[in-house]
Amino acid sequence: MKPIQAGLLGIGTVGSGVFNVLSRNQEEIQRRAGRGIAITMVADLDTARAQAVVGDKARVVADAREIIRNPDIDIVIELIGGYGIARQLVMEAIEAGKHVVTANKALLAVHGTEIFEAAQRRGVMVAFEAAVAGGIPIIKALREGLTANRIEWIAGIINGTTNFILSEMRDKGLDFDVVLKEAQRLGYAEADPTFDIEGVDAAHKATIMSAIAFGVPVQFDKAYVEGITKLGAQDIRYAEQLGYRIKLLGITKRTPAGIELRVHPSLVPAKRLIANVEGAMNAVLVQADAVGTTLYYGKGAGSEPTASAVIADLVDITRLHTVDAANRVPHLAFQPDQMSSVPVLPMSEVVTSYYLRLRVADEAGVLAKVTGLLAESGISVDAMLQREAGEGEKQTDLIILTHNVREGTMDAVLAKMQALPTVLAPIVRIRKEELA
C-alpha cells in the first residue's frame, strides 16, 4: 500500500527529531500502523538548514501553504508554535481537508474550541499528544485508557524548566535568581523564560487536560496562573522540615460547585511519588473512580521524546483516517454534542490548605494575635514552626500550616494579619496539596 504522505511545518529541534525518528524506525512504525508514513515535504524559512536535515528524502519549501495546497499531502504536522501564523495555517489545513498533528499547547489552550469545531465540521482529525508532557502519553491515557472512569482530579508537574529550578533550589539551598541563570546556561531555560517561570506554559497544558478529563471547552482565560519567581530558598527549607516539597503543579479538579483549573507552587508531602520527581522530568497524577490513582512519568520535552508523541499521532491518524468520522475518538474525549457547560471556579472559591510564613517581631503575644485571627475565621491550624531568634535578633519567622479553607476567606484573614504592627514583611502564602 502506498505510504500516507505528511508535510512538516517547521524543522527546528522537535521537527528534526520527528524526521530522524520516523526515518530510523520506519520499519517498526509501518508494522504498527499497517501502512508506511512518509514526510515528503518540509516547510521552513531556513531552507538551507532544512535541506541539511532531510537530504534528498523530502522536498523543502519556504512557503508552508505549498504543503497545504498539495493534494497528495494527507497530514500536516504543525511545529511552528505560537498563536499567530500557526493558527492561520492549522485552520487553512483543516479547511483543505488535511488531518493535523500539532505540539502547540498554547494554540490549543487558547483557540482549541474553534479548531476542534472546524475539524469536526470538515471530518478531519487534530491530534496533539505532544502538546502536553512531551513523550508521556497522557492525552491517550485520559482520552482512551481511562474512558471507563469518572476522573476526579489531575495534578501534574508539567514544566521541566521550573521543576529543574525547584530541584536545584532544594538540593543546593540557592535562591531562585541564581538557579535560573544556571538553568539558562545549561539550556533548560530559554533566554526569555517568562512562559515557564510564570506558570503560563503549565497552564496551557493543564487547560487541555481539564477539557479532556471533564468534557468542557478549553478555557485558558479562566485558569488561575501563578509562577515560581517569588519563592525563596528559606520556604523550600521550611517545607522540608515539615515533611513537604514544593512543586509547581497544574491542577484541575471536579467539585460540586464547578471545575478548578489552577497552576501554582504547592507543598506536596515528601512521601508522595510525585514529590520525588526531580530535575527536568514531568509527571502527571490522575485520580479516577474505578482505577484509583495512576501516575505517568517521563521526559516532558526534548527533540526525540516529543517526536515520539508526534509520531504516535501520525500512526493513529494512519490507522483511522479511512474510518467514518463519527466513529473516531473525539478530540476532547466526549462526543461533541455531549460537552458540558460546568463553570470553572474563580480562585476565591477554591478550597485548599496553606503554608504561611510570617516575619514577626520576637515579642510576647504575637503568636496569640495571629492564631486568634485564624480562629475568628474558622481556620484551624495543622502544624506550626517558629524559628528561634538568634542572639541579638528582634524578629523571627513563624510558619503555619492550615487545614482546608476557602481561598477568599484566607485572603481576608491575610489582609488582617498583614495589618498587625508586629508583622514586619509581606506574608508568604503557598497552597498545600495532600494528593491523597
Please answer whether residues 407 and 354 qualify as being in contact, where contact means their C-beta atoms are separated by less than 8 angstroms. no
In this structure, is residue 212 part of a structural domain? yes
| CATH (domain of 276) | 3.30.360.10
Under the banding of pLDDT at 50, 70 and 90, the label for residue 36 is very high
Q: Are 417 and 355 part of one and the same domain?
A: yes
Q: Are 159 and 291 part of one and the same domain?
A: yes
Q: Are 312 and 384 part of one and the same domain?
A: no
| CATH (domain of 421) | 3.30.70.260
In this structure, is residue 213 part of a structural domain? yes
Supply the pLDDT for residue 188.
87
In this structure, is residue 104 part of a structural domain? yes
In this structure, is residue 343 part of a structural domain? no
Instruction: Look at residues 8, 3, 17, 10 and name the one whose alpha carbon lies nearest to residue 299.
Output: 17
In this structure, is residue 156 part of a structural domain? yes
Structure letter (DSSP) for residue 144: I
- CB atoms near residue 244 (< 10 Å): 25
Q: Per-residue pLDDT tens for 222-257?
A: 999 999 999 999 999 999 999 999 999 999 999 999
Q: Are 161 and 287 part of one and the same domain?
A: yes
- CB atoms near residue 201 (< 10 Å): 27
Q: Mark whether 57 is an active-site residue.
A: no
Q: Per-residue pLDDT tens for 331-363?
A: 999 999 899 999 999 999 999 999 999 999 998
Q: Are 285 and 331 part of one and the same domain?
A: no
Buried b (16+ CB within 10 A) or exposed e, 134-168: bbbbbbbbbbeebeebebbbbbbbbbbbbbbbbbb
In this structure, is residue 344 part of a structural domain? no
Q: Per-residue pLDDT tens for 287-313?
A: 999 999 999 999 998 999 999 999 999
In this structure, is residue 327 part of a structural domain? yes
Q: Are 162 and 265 part of one and the same domain?
A: yes
| pTM of this structure | 0.95
In angstroms, the Cα distances linking 117 to 71, 222, 245, 382, 427 are: 23, 20, 41, 47, 45
Supply the pLDDT for residue 178.
94
| CATH (domain of 313) | 3.40.50.720
Catalytic choice (98, 105, 205, 299): 205
Supply the pLDDT for residue 127.
97
- CB atoms near residue 181 (< 10 Å): 12
Supply the pLDDT for residue 325.
84
Q: Are 128 and 155 part of one and the same domain?
A: no
Q: Are 143 and 273 part of one and the same domain?
A: yes
Q: Are 277 and 263 part of one and the same domain?
A: yes
Opening angle at CA 233, ends 174 and 263, nearest 5: 115
- The CA distance from 179 to 171, in Å, is 11
Of 270, 299, 328, the position where a domain reaches its end is: 299
Q: How many separate domains does the chain show?
A: 3
Q: Per-residue pLDDT tens for 153-163?
A: 999 999 999 99
Supply the pLDDT for residue 327.
85
Phi, psi of 290 (to 5 degrees): -85, -45
Supply the pLDDT for residue 67.
98
In this structure, is residue 367 part of a structural domain? yes
* Residue 126 in this model has a pLDDT that exceeds 90: yes
Q: Are 121 and 193 part of one and the same domain?
A: no
* Residue 38 in this model has a pLDDT that exceeds 80: yes
Please answer whether residues 283 and 296 qualify as being in contact, where contact means their C-beta atoms are separated by less than 8 angstroms. yes
Q: Are 48 and 131 part of one and the same domain?
A: yes
Tell me the three cell numbers of residue 240: 522540608
Structural domain for 310, as ranges = 4-135+303-338
Give the DSSP per-residue string, 353-406: EEEEEEEEESSTTHHHHHHHHHHHTTPPEEEEEEPPPPTT--EEEEEEEE--EE
Supply the pLDDT for residue 187.
87
Tell me the three cell numbers of residue 415: 489582609
Please answer whether residues 333 and 147 qualify as being in contact, where contact means their C-beta atoms are separated by less than 8 angstroms. yes
- The CA distance from 237 to 173, in Å, is 8
Supply the pLDDT for residue 195.
95
- Which whole number is the average pLDDT over 78-83? 94
Under the banding of pLDDT at 50, 70 and 90, the label for residue 207 is very high
Q: Are 154 and 86 part of one and the same domain?
A: no
- The CA distance from 132 to 139, in Å, is 7
Contacts of 298 (CB under 8 A, 6+ apart): 133, 134, 135, 136, 281, 282, 283, 305
